[in-house]
Chain A
């Protein structure tokens, strides 16, 4: 039955205006004491006009954001197999401990003597990451995976500068995440693309041919963005080292190997770890993330400030370059010491799993992905042969001549109650569908997803393209006009001018 309601609401799906459209002057969601009327000392720059903020009471604010939340799909809502993003369960214990007053209410500039527990916590988190990667050094401060990359590549640049070498070419596989070339460019490097083989891995011959004395290094994701382990990784490491370059490993897909393979054993020089992927800190609708970077001995002296050291006098925070001999930090990446809130959550997660549990994490993640691959491979088109790691990659050959695109299929999957897979990435595969179930999903939820996808594929192949072109049907909003949004950008609310 289809009808329109008076309010525009549809049962639990409630329409919600902007806060700017509901405010009333005189309403306020906080109670404040009356000002004492002290004469201001603002240098004569006292604000003399309204800011333009709406007034709302607390219940209005709670209802507003609750309603907004109900228009969102999160991991808590359902299966979220977004490839390369590792949307695993975010334990609430992590949230609880991150809110302990002795951790949350610490100012970054407190004297060291008052934050020994915080420094110890950073040191413990660092220790876990070092043991899991087998690496000798770590920078904890990078704010995110992208800043971790920047940290690693800046260390490489600093190491080259220290060697007095003007190497400027960085080799990056075609399948790389966009942040890799963007990061290399931000460090003054030029990007040289390495093609992939028909098996979705680095073309070793092409890679070798590109090596030379102007090569600064390689940025390689492993397991790679096609969800495959780079089986020549050691050879790649040896070759790049022999050519005088460094090996930056993008650790976005560490979840596939955590506790089972130590990147140190693969010959890497630097790798960032997305705490918001492998170590379960929440994605939060786009951050905050955290991207600590592990370093080899060759790059360790160039790690950025600040960092924590353990001394006989307790823990110290090194905030300036010359406090310790022998180091040549390339600089500072963040206002303060890093994403402490994320270290707390990641440490709680690592302690919960332990060394044994983390092995199970990667094993189950890879098992779930291969199970999903096995269930879908006959009806969808698998991009590359063999087992996958933690995610399964398909191309769009199975949709050929159906008139249905990867995007259309994804939108129909939304109506089935799932978050779609990653689409059109990596770029090396036509119409890519990258599916990462993660280890925190049950076999039942993977089966339900696979059954739904298979039924949609059958529907597409039966020639019902029109159905797909207009999907989704059941969401709070249907397909949005992105062209109009980009042609005439409206990026803020404005009061209506009379």
Chain B
């Protein structure tokens, strides 16, 4: 077997050194009958070529987003990832390293994490960011738990504009910790007002969670909401699903948010059918010790040279055990490296430039869709995603579009399976990857489907 270097002779001489008659003898503690004498009922080993072919066959049964015009968003976005990103993350010294527990031989990982933390803090407009979480939804849940710790309160208020999966994950995380989750149901035709959540914020409220831009694509100023939260001693958590947006819109930090967290997939990471992604998590200096997850900090070595280490570890499970701020152990290392490399390539001009391109492409798409009979774009404001009201159920429309070779958005019924008032709404995202031809194909296919 190509991954196993021991030879028959090695095994024999090693057993002799150990003084054991056989490998099975090393398993003498396994209870009677539980040690299998034969391989389990699965296929036997295959060469590289055969495995590659089997995997290629599975891949061929899918329609990838790059092979057809694709307008899918709802928490995951198709962006161009420069070739450099994949080259760097496949370097073995990054790919096959462990969590940087030995900083003397992990300065590569630690320095990029420090750069990553700085980039995330910069785009969100916050003081500090951690070394990443598993994804946007778990970041949101962890943010709520953090707010509960920081305020010593047990109630979270979730805005109706929050992605329903984020809401479900948050509810799942809170359900066994006596944390009450309240909130409003969102609707794409009912624009939330700045103070619609005010009556839910009371002296027991730990935090209010809003999404920016919201799940329907709308962009709203949350400064007043931040004030309302702070007046009651609650924290404002601003969640995002599209990290590219902050190249075009004001940062959540400018509203006075206390925690800003969300999905970083858009930058550097493929769609990967939903994972692995990278959760971004930023907060104020004041709250840093309540933060979950790994943190990298600057220091000096014995010779006085600048270096980096994991720091403030006493918040974490391996030290605090049942009193830890979270049970999270790792971060999303390689995905955060992909983010860092992509963001380094973009820089100020590239980040803001590609954000502008996204917005312009979305504007063109919105205009083209809105011109189709039976389709109405609902958003006054959006970044690269908006909601369309259709004359037919959106799920059927999406299936019919597939037959015409277009991946035409996410029906709200998929995100809200228990809400039958949302059947006719379609969430459409457009990014810099969509060409004018894609937009035209989409609009004409939609026209045929809705006719």
Contacts and interface: CB of A to CB of B under 8 A. Distances in A.
Given A69-B91, A443-B14, A480 B383 contact: no
A490 B298 contact: yes
Given A103-B59, A266-B34, A486 B297 contact: yes
Interface in A340-364: 340-342, 344, 347-348, 350-361, 363-364
Given A117-B59, A118-B62, A477-B103, A61 B84 contact: yes
Contacts of B169: 331-335
Contact of B410 (A48, A71, A109, A364): A109
B350 A356 contact: no
A355 B40 contact: yes
Interface stretch (A74-82, A393-401, A459-467): A74-82
Interface stretch (B110-118, B153-161, B194-202, B439-447): B110-118
Given A47-B251, A144-B329, A387 B26 contact: yes
A109 B275 contact: no
A435 to B, nearest CB: 14
B250 A47 contact: yes
A375 B417 CA distance: 60
A233 interface: yes
Contacts of B84: 29, 58, 61-62
A260 B35 contact: yes
B176 A282 contact: no
A264 B228 CA distance: 53
A164 interface: no
Interface stretch (B66-74, B203-211, B230-238): B66-74
A475 B302 CA distance: 12
A55 B349 CA distance: 7
Q: How large is the interface on B (under 10, 10 to 19, 20 to 34, 35 or more residues)?
A: 35 or more
Given A331-B175, A351-B43, A51 B122 contact: yes
Nearest to A35: B356
Given A100-B55, A387-B26, A73 B42 contact: no
B190 interface: no
B327 interface: yes
Contacts of B290: none
A38 interface: yes
A479 B302 contact: yes
Contacts of A178: 316-321, 324, 329
B322 A335 contact: no
A415 B362 CA distance: 55
Contact of A106 (B36, B51, B65): B65
Nearest to A479: B302
Interface string B155-196: 000000001011011011101111000000000000000000
B92 A45 contact: no
Given A29-B345, A287-B334, A489-B297, A348 B96 contact: no
A190 B323 CA distance: 11
Contacts of A476: 104-105, 107
Contacts of B432: 32
A334 B138 contact: yes
Nearest to A256: B27
A325 interface: no
A46 to B, nearest CB: 7
Nearest to B325: A182
B275 A288 contact: yes
Contacts of A187: 176
A43 B275 contact: no
Interface string A125-150: 00010011000000000011111011
B288 interface: yes
Contact of A182 (B2, B131, B163, B327): B327
B401 to A, nearest CB: 9
Given A46-B250, A87-B98, A233-B31, A335 B277 contact: yes
B345 A56 contact: yes
Contact of B247 (A47, A96, A364, A387): A47
A74 B96 contact: yes
A316 interface: no
B334 A58 contact: no
Nearest to A422: B101
Contacts of A339: 275-276
Contacts of A356: 39, 44-45
Given A29-B347, A353-B3, A357-B4, A261 B36 contact: yes
Contacts of B175: 330-331
Contacts, number: 715
Contacts of A331: 168-169, 171-172, 175
A442 to B, nearest CB: 4
A313 interface: no
A35 B329 contact: no
Interface stretch (A19-27, A202-210, A293-301): A19-27
Given A73-B102, A93-B51, A340-B275, A43 B219 contact: yes
Interface in A49-72: 50-56, 58, 61-62, 64-66, 68-72
Contact of A288 (B59, B134, B308): B134
Interface string A435-459: 0000111110000000000000000
Interface in B364-388: 364, 366, 379-383
A334 B94 contact: no
Contact of B322 (A102, A185, A366, A386): A185
Given A71-B107, A478-B302, A114 B63 contact: yes
A9 interface: no
Contact of B134 (A73, A143, A357, A375): A143
B176 A261 contact: no
B258 interface: no
A41 B380 contact: yes
Contacts of B109: 68, 72, 285-286
B377 to A, nearest CB: 10
A350 B317 CA distance: 31
A241 interface: no
A181 interface: yes
A441 B114 contact: no
Contact of B327 (A65, A149, A228, A286): A149
Given A87-B98, A107-B407, A191-B322, 17 more contacts: A30-B353, A41-B359, A52-B348, A61-B341, A65-B112, A95-B95, A107-B70, A107-B72, A114-B62, A118-B61, A146-B317, A286-B100, A286-B331, A337-B274, A371-B18, A410-B102, A482-B299
6 contacts: A19-B344, A54-B347, A191-B322, A286-B331, A335-B136, A480-B307
Top 7 nearest A-B pairs (CB, nearest first) are: A336-B274, A117-B61, A102-B59, A331-B172, A76-B92, A43-B381, A284-B334
